[in-house]
Chains A and B, each alone.
Chain A
Amino acid sequence: GAVVSQHPSWVICKSGTSVKIECRSLDFQATTMFWYRQFPKQSLMLMATSNEGSKATYEQGVEKDKFLINHASLTLSTLTVTSAHPEDSSFYICSARWQGPDTQYFGPGTRLTVL
């Protein structure tokens, strides 16, 4: 149980285009989902906290107009990278909270490459 999926697992896009990444909790309902960004050989950095039915809360320094987060249902959150640039290339990971405030289940991540 407690499986989180992400789609796509990797994506290559041209500079200036937008890319949508989906995060789904497959066998549980998640009122809260988190989006992280991981640079090569570095740690995970929290980008935003997404609560179902409300606006996401972004961490300091994260451009909310660039990284659009939608948590439309209890099992789906999406991250849209708008007008992507090469510096947005990274590994994006989501997690979903279930069974208490201290338990997050992580998706396998999405590798974004912007050309």
Chain B
Amino acid sequence: AQSVTQPDIHITVSEGASLELRCNYSYGATPYLFWYVQSPGQGLQLLLKYFSGDTLVQGIKGFEAEFKRSQSSFNLRKPSVHWSDAAEYFCAVRSSGDKLTFGTGTRLAVRP
């Protein structure tokens, strides 16, 4: 069965610093992978997705993620974090029937 692991429950970075959020997946076939961000009072917003092709994926708000099959990872990165990036971030993998399996999330706090 598919699963997603986000090892970091909570991360704090200083504004302007770089960010990397980790995601590891378990899936038998070629995975369809997603990163979502959840802010209070708002629905999950899709940051980026990987289906195939170039393993470095660019998303919205300056985020990017790299798919590494050998490591079963799909880590999210941003070179310079803004205070508005503070939120909960979820990695997800698509399984059969368009279902999404989510990781437990990483809460990002940004120090001024």
Contacts and interface: CB of A to CB of B under 8 A. Distances in A.
A97 B41 CA distance: 20
B50 to A, nearest CB: 10
Interface of B: 9, 32, 36, 41-46, 49, 51, 90, 94, 97-105
Given A43-B90, A43-B102, A49 B97 contact: yes
Given A34-B99, A103-B46, A106-B44, 14 more contacts: A9-B41, A41-B104, A42-B105, A43-B90, A43-B103, A44-B90, A49-B98, A49-B99, A102-B94, A105-B46, A106-B36, A106-B43, A106-B45, A109-B43
A32 to B, nearest CB: 7
Contacts of A105: 43, 46
A41 B9 CA distance: 9
A106 B42 CA distance: 9
Contacts of B44: 44, 93, 95, 106
Interface residues of A, number: 24
Contacts of B42: 108
Contacts of B104: 41-43
A102 B51 contact: yes
Nearest to A108: B43
A25 B99 CA distance: 18
Nearest to A46: B99
Interface string A83-103: 000000000010101000111
Contacts of B98: 32, 49, 97, 101-102, 104
